[in-house]
Chain A
Amino acid sequence: MTDPAPLIATEGLTKRFPVTRGILFAHTVGAVHAVEDVHLAVRRGRTLGIVGESGSGKSTTGRMIARLIDPTAGTVLLEGTDITRVGGAELRVLRRRIQMVFQDPTGALNPRHTANQIVGAPLRVHHVAGNRAVRVAALLEQVGLSPDLGDRYPHEFSGGQRQRIGIARALALEPDLIVLDEPVSALDVSVQAHILNLLTDLQRAHGMTYIVISHDLGVIRHLADEVAVMYLGRIVERAPAASIAAPFHPYTAALLTAAPGRPGAAHRRRILLPGDPPSPITPPSGCAFHPRCPKARVISGDPNVVPERCRTDAPPLDNLGRGRSVACWSPVATTDDLVGAAEAMSAAPDIARATSD
């Protein structure tokens, strides 16, 4: 991408999960297009936020970057080196540089291991020199836990404390990059802020790079320098966190109005997208968003009609300058009445038929 030396970058990252039918004689009948042609780049010490609703492929993207699943196509570059096909001992070395924090802090910790064992595991696996007990105690302290609690089991901690243990484990190897997959979505709102502040403080102290995956724009805005919005496996918009509030993609606009506590919430109405996201097994033709897109209806002036181009051609992610890019044939203008268009779509009786082909 345009950044001179990104720490981590992806080019054309694609993941398709085969859909098989039959038990005895299983055969592939299709594929879930989880991630399609994703280009990303994050500079060292910066934070990229990936936002999208469930099923948008954001977690799959994060797992591919962390090398937990293998991409179908495309490459992952760490400081310009292709790490997509690295395996075996080389991959184990690579794990020291890329770590992951998981969404479900309860499931991510082995219930049969103590906090000390969990946080010490990366040190043991990678034969890190030095006194492991001392290092583990320091790590627990760093994430705001008393080292006295190290002998306790996960079930004796609260959700927030468990996530702190998960973060301490990710920190243990002093990685360059941490992929945070929904780091606070399983936590109480009151605890979320503490964890977010902890993540900010740790980044400031260690200069790590973050990739934060969340469905919550508030979380993304709190942590990220840059935001990538995903819809149905594709990036539809990228923008600096500061300017995402003025979106170019109609889907981003809808996401923004859906986020609680958004700026100007009192006088802005929500854009309620009709229907559910289409199946990623049979993604819509052209722009994947066109069946639910209010902007397309603004252009056509009819809630049942989508412009030809939106239905036939997939829009590329166009660079608009100043760090912004959007994949839309007619980006949102401030004068567009997207709320009204979305409401008209919901009211239109044959919307499902009109958008299904």
Chain B
Amino acid sequence: MSVDVSILESAQPPALGTGRSPAALMWLRFRVNRAAYVSLIFLVVLTVAAIAAPLIAHLAGHGPNDLYRTSMLDSFGNPKGPTLHFWFGADASGRDVFVRVIYGARVSLIVGVVATGIAATIGVVFGLIAGFRGGGLDTLLSRTSDVVLALPVLLFAIGLSSACSNTAQGCVGGAVTPGLNLVIVIIVIFAWPAMFRIVRAATLSLRESTFVEAGRAVGMTGRSIMFREVLPNLISPVVVYAALMIPESILFEAYLSFLGLGVPGTTPSWGGMLEQASQYYTTAWWLMVFPGVFLLATILAFNLVADGVRDAFDPKATK
């Protein structure tokens, strides 16, 4: 990703360029990408649905953990498929799959956004400091990120989650409780170094730019130059990479939940539902298809939006 300071001045017709901020120009370019725009709308709808999950459950008439053993399980105890009242059918305990899929979006979106937000913030701040200040602090942070990147992610995640899920108090003196918190912590630990590297490299080159020197000539402090002069120019790589981190985080949560290491079974999550579905997929296709399709669509949508964002930042974009 280029952090060229002249990012927006090329290929921009003057009629479009005049009087608009870089952000407004980017929005114009983003909207041209139909797939990204549709994906963004899908994600907005999904987010609204996730926030309104209790309302949807109320309208459907079934809560996410309400058991309908008599009506939705047949005489052999096998779940029944989609009906007029149970759109996505029922799971092995007779719970409404539709309501659980909507609730599952909450976990995925929270993990995707919160874990990425924390990891990106850590990566940006550390990367800025390491790149701008250099010296021993840079060495310390860079080597730490190298070590984290060298760890076998899944193995370490399994170990960490089983160690912290032993008791309800969790680990680190109760700071990391089992469930969603633990999943977020694991993702943050492994996601920040990539962002750190990107920001550090970009900061190293921006540090040498004339406008940074001009900031010093004017009398700005180092911190002021870092956050007011350098940081705004990192927006494009940071936003683009953060947009790519979100689907990765969602997928990782699904892996963990599929392995039974993520959120507890009482909290509906797509990964956890897929895990249960794996025992019934020969007889109950709806158990796998609906959470699977939603997971796929969400990942795809985030990736397409990330692509759109990257193109919107690209000065060589044709539109």
What is the interface of chain A, defined by CB distance below 8 A to chain B?
66, 68, 91-92, 95-96, 99-100, 102-104, 106-113, 121-122, 125-126, 151-153, 155-156, 166, 169, 173
Q: A110-B229, A110-B232, A112-B235 are in contact. Are A99 and B211 (CB under 8 A)?
A: no
> For residue A170, which residue of chain B has the nearest CB?
B217
Which among B12, B211, B235 is the interface contact of A110 at CB below 8 angstroms? B211
Interface check B216, CB cutoff 8 A: yes
Q: Min CB distance, A78 to chain B, in Å?
A: 15
For A173, list chain B residues within 8 Å (CB): 218
Question: Do B220 and A99 touch (CB < 8 A)?
Answer: no
> For residue B219, which residue of chain A has the nearest CB?
A95
Interface check B18, CB cutoff 8 A: yes
Which of B2-10, B41-49, B113-121 lines the interface with chain A?
B2-10
Q: Min CB distance, A251 to chain B, in Å?
A: 29
Q: Min CB distance, A180 to chain B, in Å?
A: 12
For B166, list chain A residues within 8 Å (CB): none
Q: A113-B232, A125-B220 are in contact. Are A155 and B8 (CB under 8 A)?
A: yes
For B232, list chain A residues within 8 Å (CB): 110, 112-113
Q: Min CB distance, B78 to chain A, in Å?
A: 60
Show 23 A/B contacts (Cβ-Cβ < 8 Å), sorted by A: A92-B221, A95-B217, A95-B218, A100-B214, A104-B210, A106-B6, A107-B5, A107-B209, A110-B232, A111-B5, A111-B7, A112-B232, A112-B233, A121-B215, A122-B219, A125-B220, A125-B224, A151-B19, A153-B8, A156-B18, A166-B214, A169-B214, A169-B218
Q: A107-B210, A109-B211, A112-B235 are in contact. Are A155 and B217 (CB under 8 A)?
A: no
New contact pairs (10) apart from A107-B210, A155-B9, CB-CB < 8 Å: A68-B213, A92-B221, A96-B219, A110-B5, A110-B211, A110-B232, A111-B8, A112-B232, A152-B18, A156-B18
For B12, list chain A residues within 8 Å (CB): 155
Which among B6, B22, B211 is the interface contact of A108 at CB below 8 angstroms? B211
- A125–B220 Cα distance when bound, in Å, is 6
For B221, list chain A residues within 8 Å (CB): 92
For B22, list chain A residues within 8 Å (CB): 111-112, 153
> For residue A66, which residue of chain B has the nearest CB?
B217
For A99, list chain B residues within 8 Å (CB): 217-218
Q: Min CB distance, A267 to chain B, in Å?
A: 42
For B174, list chain A residues within 8 Å (CB): none
- A167–B232 Cα distance when bound, in Å, is 23
Question: Do B5 and A68 touch (CB < 8 A)?
Answer: no
For B7, list chain A residues within 8 Å (CB): 111
Interface check B159, CB cutoff 8 A: no
Q: Min CB distance, B226 to chain A, in Å?
A: 13
Q: Min CB distance, A181 to chain B, in Å?
A: 10
Interface check B21, CB cutoff 8 A: yes
- A91–B213 Cα distance when bound, in Å, is 15
Q: A107-B209, A109-B211, A152-B19 are in contact. Are A100 and B217 (CB under 8 A)?
A: yes
Q: Min CB distance, B224 to chain A, in Å?
A: 7
- A192–B217 Cα distance when bound, in Å, is 24
Q: How many residues of B contact A (CB 8 A)?
A: 28
Taking CB atoms and an 8 Å cut-off, the chain B residues in 201-239 that contact chain A are 209-211, 213-221, 224, 229, 232-233, 235
Which among B5, B214, B229, B233 is the interface contact of A102 at CB below 8 angstroms? B214
- A109–B6 Cα distance when bound, in Å, is 10
- A155–B11 Cα distance when bound, in Å, is 12
Interface check B77, CB cutoff 8 A: no
Interface check B61, CB cutoff 8 A: no
Question: Do B219 and A126 touch (CB < 8 A)?
Answer: yes
Which among B17, B209, B217, B218 is the interface contact of A156 at CB below 8 angstroms? B17
Which among B8, B9, B17, B220 is the interface contact of A121 at CB below 8 angstroms? B220
Q: Min CB distance, B25 to chain A, in Å?
A: 9
- A63–B7 Cα distance when bound, in Å, is 28
Max chain A C-beta neighbours (<10 A), residue from B9, B17, B214: B214
- A133–B10 Cα distance when bound, in Å, is 30
For B233, list chain A residues within 8 Å (CB): 110-112
- A66–B211 Cα distance when bound, in Å, is 15
Q: Min CB distance, A305 to chain B, in Å?
A: 45
- A6–B229 Cα distance when bound, in Å, is 35
- A151–B20 Cα distance when bound, in Å, is 9
Taking CB atoms and an 8 Å cut-off, the chain B residues in 126-175 that contact chain A are none
Q: Min CB distance, B236 to chain A, in Å?
A: 10
- A142–B233 Cα distance when bound, in Å, is 29
Q: Min CB distance, A167 to chain B, in Å?
A: 12
For A66, list chain B residues within 8 Å (CB): 217
Q: Min CB distance, B66 to chain A, in Å?
A: 52
For A125, list chain B residues within 8 Å (CB): 218-220, 224
> For residue A121, which residue of chain B has the nearest CB?
B218
Q: Min CB distance, B127 to chain A, in Å?
A: 18
Task: Give the 7 A-B residue pairs with the shortest CB-CB distance, closest first.
Answer: A155-B9, A95-B219, A112-B232, A107-B210, A108-B210, A110-B211, A100-B217
For A152, list chain B residues within 8 Å (CB): 18-19
- A151–B22 Cα distance when bound, in Å, is 12
Which among A92, A96, A106, A153 is the interface contact of B21 at CB below 8 angstroms? A153
> For residue B210, which residue of chain A has the nearest CB?
A107
> For residue B234, which residue of chain A has the nearest CB?
A112
For A106, list chain B residues within 8 Å (CB): 5-6
- A104–B210 Cα distance when bound, in Å, is 8
- A305–B17 Cα distance when bound, in Å, is 62
For B9, list chain A residues within 8 Å (CB): 111, 155-156
For A121, list chain B residues within 8 Å (CB): 215, 218, 220
Q: A112-B232, A155-B8, A156-B17 are in contact. Are A102 and B219 (CB under 8 A)?
A: no
Question: Do A155 and B6 touch (CB < 8 A)?
Answer: yes
> For residue B14, which residue of chain A has the nearest CB?
A156
For A153, list chain B residues within 8 Å (CB): 8, 21-22
> For residue A123, which residue of chain B has the nearest CB?
B218
For A113, list chain B residues within 8 Å (CB): 232
Q: Min CB distance, B273 to chain A, in Å?
A: 44
For A107, list chain B residues within 8 Å (CB): 5, 209-211
